[in-house]
Homo-oligomer: A and B are copies of this chain.
Amino acid sequence: MSTLCKFETALEILVGKWKPVILLQLFANGTMRFSELQKAIPDITKKMLTQQLRELQYHDIIHREVYNQIPPKVEYSITEYGQQLTPLLQAMNDWGTAHIAHLQELYGEEHSARSLKRN
Contact = CB atoms under 8 A, between A and B. Distances in A.
Interface of A: 1, 3-15, 20-21, 24, 54-55, 58-60, 81, 84-85, 87-89, 91-93, 95-100, 102-103, 106, 113-117
Given A15-B15, A55-B116, A116-B54, A99 B20 contact: no
Copies of this chain, complex-wide, total 2
B20 A92 contact: no
Contacts of A99: 9-10, 13, 59
A102 B98 CA distance: 31
B9 A96 contact: yes
Contact of A12 (B59, B93, B114): B114
A91 B93 contact: no
B7 A92 contact: yes
Contacts of A93: 3, 6-7, 10
Contact of A88 (B54, B95, B103): B95
B88 A10 contact: no
Those 6 A-B pairs whose CB atoms lie nearest each other, nearest first: A9-B96, A6-B96, A10-B96, A10-B92, A58-B116, A6-B97
B7 A96 contact: yes
